Amino acid sequence: MNDAKISLILSTKDRADQLKLCLDHIAQIHSRIPWELIVIDNGSTDHTAGVLEIFAASVSFSVIRLYEARRGRSYGLNEALRISNGEIVAFVDDDCYVTPDHIDQVAKVFTDQKIGFAGGRVELFDPTDYPMTIATSTEMKLFPPFSVIPGGEMLGANMMFRRSVINEVGGFDVDFGPGTPLVADDTDVLIRASFSGWWGVYTPDAVVAHHHGRKAKDAVALARKYCNGSGALNLKFVLMRKTRLHFLKACYWYFLGIARRKYPIKTLFWEIEGAARYCAKRARRYLLPAT
pTM for this prediction: 0.94
CA 13 – CA 45 distance, rounded (Å):
8
Q: In the predicted model, what is the mean pLDDT of residues 240-255?
A: 96
Cβ atoms within 10 Å, residue 59: 13
Helix (H) or strand (E) holding 80: helix 73-83
Residue 1 has pLDDT above 70, yes or no: no
- Average pLDDT score over the chain: 95
C-alpha to C-alpha distance for 227 and 274, rounded to whole angstroms: 7
Bridge partners (DSSP) listed for residue 141: 202
DSSP 235-263: HHHHSSTTTHHHHHHHHHHHHHHHHTTSS
Q: What pLDDT digit, counting tens, does each position of 267-282 carry?
A: 999 999 999 999 998 8
Amino acid 282: pLDDT: 85
Length of the chain (residues): 291
Mean pLDDT of 193-209: 98
Give the CA diameter of the chain.
59
pLDDT (tens digit per residue) in 45-103: 999 999 999 999 999 999 999 999 999 999 999 999 999 999 999 999 999 999 999 99
Q: What pLDDT does 144 receive?
A: 98
What pLDDT shows up at residue 2?
67
